[in-house]
Chain A
Amino acid sequence: MPQKAHDSPSRNDSDSDFLSLSLQYLEGELEAADVRRLDRMMKSDQQKQASFVTLCMQSQLLREPLRHRLNDSQLAESELFECSFQPPVPTSSVVDDSRAEALAGFPYVWCALAAVVLLAVSLTWRMQPQPITEFDRIRTSDVVAVVSNAVGQVTINGKPVHSGSKVYAGVTLRTVSSTSSADLIYPDGTTFFMAGPATLQVNGSSGQKKLFLSNGNLCATIHKQPFGKPTLISTPDSELEMNDTNFGMSTLPETTEVMVTSGLATLRRTRDGEMIEVRSGQFARSESSGGKLQIESRQGVPVQWQAHLNAKRMEDWPIGMLVQSEISGAAMMTATDDASEFYSLATPKCWTSGIVQITETSVLNLRIRIAKPGFYQIMIGVRGFDFKPTALTGNYEYQERNFDQVPANQWRNLSIPLSQFKKAGSDGNQFFKDRPAVSPAAGDVVYFVYISSQTVDRGIMIDEMSITQEPPAAQTNRRRARKARDQSDRVRRDRRQKAGTNCRRARRALKLPQLVSQ
Chain B
Amino acid sequence: MDQAIVIRVLLTERAKFLAHAWSILRDEHAAEDIFQEVMLLAVDRSDQIDSEPALIAWARTATRYRALHWIRDRKLEHLTLSEELLASLETHWEQSDDSTSEETITALRACIETMTPRSQQIVALRYGQGLSGKQVAATLDRKAQTVYMALSRIHQRLRDCVQLRLTKNI
Say yes or no: A12-B156 contact (C-beta < 8 A), given A129-B74, A129-B76, A141-B36. Answer: yes
In the bound complex, CA of A205 to CA of B36 (Å): 11
In the bound complex, CA of A176 to CA of B138 (Å): 54
Closest chain B residue to A26, Cβ basis: B26
Q: Pick the contact of A57 from B16, B29, B40, B161 — CB < 8 Å?
A: B16
Q: Which residues of A contact B33 (CB under 8 A)?
A: 137, 140-141, 205-207
B51 lies within 8 A of chain A by Cβ: no
Which of the four size classes fits the interface of chain B? Answer: 35 or more
16 A-B pairs with CB atoms under 8 Å apart are A1-B157, A38-B81, A42-B89, A53-B93, A57-B19, A60-B18, A60-B22, A66-B123, A69-B128, A130-B74, A143-B40, A144-B36, A146-B40, A187-B11, A187-B32, A207-B29
B130 lies within 8 A of chain A by Cβ: yes
B interface footprint on A134-156 (CB within 8 Å = 1, 0 otherwise): 00010011011010110000000
A interface footprint on B6-18 (CB within 8 Å = 1, 0 otherwise): 0100010011101
In the bound complex, CA of A337 to CA of B22 (Å): 51
Q: Which residues of B contact A67 (CB under 8 A)?
A: 127-130
Q: Chain B contact residues: over half helix, strand or loop, or mixed?
A: helix
Say yes or no: A137-B29 contact (C-beta < 8 A), given A32-B79, A39-B82. Answer: yes
Interface residues of A in 4-45 (CB under 8 A from B): 4, 12, 15-20, 22-30, 32, 35, 38-39, 42-43
B54 lies within 8 A of chain A by Cβ: no
Q: Which residues of B contact A105 (CB under 8 A)?
A: none
Which of the four size classes fits the interface of chain A? Answer: 35 or more
The 7 A-B pairs at the shortest CB distance, nearest first, are namely A19-B152, A187-B36, A60-B19, A62-B127, A53-B92, A66-B128, A164-B3
A406 lies within 8 A of chain B by Cβ: no
Q: Which residues of A contact B80 (CB under 8 A)?
A: 35
Q: Which residues of A contact B18 (CB under 8 A)?
A: 60
Q: Pick the contact of B81 from A35, A55, A63 — CB < 8 Å?
A: A35
Most buried by B among A26, A52, A57, A67: A57
In the bound complex, CA of A146 to CA of B41 (Å): 11
Interface residues of B in 123-162 (CB under 8 A from A): 123-124, 127-130, 132-134, 145, 148-149, 151-153, 155-162
Q: Which residues of A contact B155 (CB under 8 A)?
A: 19, 23, 54-55, 58-59
